Amino acid sequence: MSLILTIAANKSPLQSYANSSLWILPVYVLSTRQDKDKHHIPMEAKCTIDTGNMQGNIVSRKFVQEVLEYPESAFCPLTKEEEVGATGITGHQLIPEGAVYLTWYHKKSTRVFRNMRFLISPNDHCDLVIGARSIQKHRLLDVPNLMAQAAKMDIIDINETPEGRHLSRCPSLESLTLL
């Protein structure tokens, strides 16, 4: 049995397959701290892109207060809809404790998202979550073109033998025909 797996160019195929996620990425959020020139100091956050989240953008209270150093007085009141909270896919309830406006960016982009509203979560299992409405409004994701040919793909061939599975890297290809 043979399986072909396509991996992004310029990365080790095994590293890309094991350690990357298209949905969790590092971003920088402006903190309340300022440098000597009065510029806000950016702090790194682990950001989850959640296309199924209709609740809104979410930030952990711990990240807001301990990392970004926002005082509780900077928290904004919730709307009636936000006060109700939401139930996650696992059945847990998320009742936000307030809202805050944050400015953030990704280091590989020139776009800066200023004063984006985030609901403050008492849970600290993630720093930031960007919800479906913001993804759509700010066009954070492109619609995939599944018919496009990718230039230069690294291919891993996974062969199953009686001794076990063996991975081998195939030479880069200009295109790939799926059968």
Question: What CATH number is associated with residue 62?
Answer: 2.40.70.10
* 179 within a domain of the structure (yes/no): no
Facing residues of 87 across strands? 93
Q: Residue 36 has what pLDDT?
A: 96
Average pLDDT over residues 108-120: 94
Domain co-membership, 52 together with 106 = yes
Higher-scoring residue by pLDDT: 156, 72 = 72
Q: What are the residues whose beta carbons fall under 8 Å from the beta carbon of 176, sequence distance 6 or more?
A: 4, 6, 149, 150, 153, 155
* 142 within a domain of the structure (yes/no): no
Domain co-membership, 127 together with 52 = yes
Number of domains in the chain: 2
C-alpha–C-alpha distance, residues 155 and 112, integer Å: 35
Range of 169's domain? 2-15+147-173
* 116 within a domain of the structure (yes/no): yes
Domain co-membership, 113 together with 44 = yes
* 27 within a domain of the structure (yes/no): yes
Q: Residue 7 has what pLDDT?
A: 32
Is residue 78 very low, low, confident or very high in pLDDT (cuts 50, 70, 90)?
very high
Is residue 10 very low, low, confident or very high in pLDDT (cuts 50, 70, 90)?
very low
pTM for the whole structure: 0.68
Q: Is the pLDDT of residue 177 over 60?
A: no
pLDDT digits (tens, 9 = 90+) for 133-169: 999 999 888 766 555 554 444 545 555 666 665 555 5
Q: Residue 133 has what pLDDT?
A: 92
Return the percentage of the chain with pLDDT > 90, whole number: 47
Domain co-membership, 97 together with 39 = yes
- Asked if 103 and 114 count as a contact pair (C-beta separation under 8 A), the reply is yes
